[in-house]
Amino acid sequence: MQYKEGVEAMTKAEYNQNLERYHKAMDWYNSNPPRVKQEEFYGNFLNLLEILKQGCNELKPKGKEVLDGFDLDKPEGEQLSLQGQGR
């Protein structure tokens, strides 16, 4: 799972996995963890944002797909509707 230009393209499933990590990270951060833990987490968070940015550049998500992810159960070209996932 290397997300660097020219190495390996990210799949929609991988984008969704990284997006779920992002949402969990935000939930953790919003729980007001100790400042030391926040500082330790910062580098990982920036890396995660870079991964998601590359996924957006490669996969071109539309509208809600950016923060809700891709609906992998629908054929390509159908509109995304993941409202039941709480995001």
Burial of 3: CB neighbours in 10 Å, binned 0-12, 13-18, 19+: buried
What does the pLDDT profile of the chain (87 residues) look like in tens digits? 555 555 578 999 999 999 999 999 999 999 999 999 999 999 999 999 999 999 999 999 999 999 999 999 876 655 444 434 444
Task: Return the amino acid letter for 13.
Answer: A
Nearest by Cα to 28 from 44, 52, 17: 44
- Give the Cα separation of 81 and 72 in Å (integer): 11
Residue 80 phi, psi (nearest 5): -80, 140
In three-state secondary structure terms, 20 is helix
